[in-house]
Amino acid sequence: MRNLAERCFINPMQQTSRQQTWFITGSSRGFGRALAVAALAAGDRVAATARRPEQLADLVAKYGDAVVPLQLDVTDPAAARAALAQAASRLGRLDVIVNNAGYANVAPIETGDDADFRAQFETNFWGVYHVSKAAIPLLRAQGGGLVMQFSSVGGRVGGSPGIASYQAAKFAIDGFSRVLRAETAPFGVRVVVVEPSGFRTDWAGASMTVHDIPAEYASTVGALNARVRQSDSGAAGDPARAAEILVALARRRDIPEHLPLGVNAAEGSIALDRRLLAADLAWRDVSRSADFAEPYPVEFPPDSAG
């Protein structure tokens, strides 16, 4: 069987052969579990966190001391600091910090429960904030590392009816990570935002609560809810493949700032980038005219008919 680098077509000259140490949130299932398994299979060591660390017992049984199971509720900043400190103490250093924990519930903005909207944001954004902030002094002291932030194609393209809290948090992760990248680059810290499309995890299954969808939202929120559950075989993306790609990526010196994963993520991101570029170019003279030194007024682009 080919090794991980060969399967992912990574140039050995562009990667490190040193064993990596990982800190992964939300390791009990989904992407977090797949990534922990891929890292361990590649010979790395993993601090795997979960709200219920007993769910990690099978990993410990198979990989022994290579796994450090830790309890972590990412919404608790003190718990994030404690878990990272314990992981660093056990593993010596932390090469890759993965903010993966997150979930989405479905409801229209108009009728959704405010407390549920806020609770999702507490995990999906503030969890990333707490873990990232707690990791900075550790990464700075050791001379660098990689922070891998799980966003979504929805955090790049957006506009999916019914999951406003989830997508708002993912957009916030992108903005937060851009600042994190700029502030910590002098310390040797790198940041990549991972943007998956649909993958065969339980994101749209047991992890998701669907609240009442009024008839007025059947064609928007209802349609999206049906679409994410439309196939008995599940989503197109393979979490095991994605995890192997990310393990190989973590060994590279040259990495992207954003990595769409999956066909829909890749093509949707490119299509959005093209639309934004076309609009920016069409409105460039109008945009520039807001400055004192620029010609004003200027002609707007042609308006649509009707």
Catalytic residues, by residue number, are: 151, 166, 170
How far does Cα 50 stand from its chain's mean position?
A: 17
| Cα 75 to Cα 216: distance, rounded to the nearest angstrom | 34
Between the CA of residue 59 and those of 3, 67, 203, what are the distances in Å?
A: 21, 7, 21
Spell out the SS3 assignment of 39-86: HHHCCCEEEEEECCHHHHHHHHHHHHHHEEEEECCCCCHHHHHHHHHH
Pair of tokens at residue 174? 């992108």
* Per-state percent for the chain, helix, strand, coil, to nearest 5: 50, 15, 35
Element (H, E) at 230: none
Question: Are the C-beta atoms of residues 41 and 58 closer than 8 Å to each other?
Answer: no
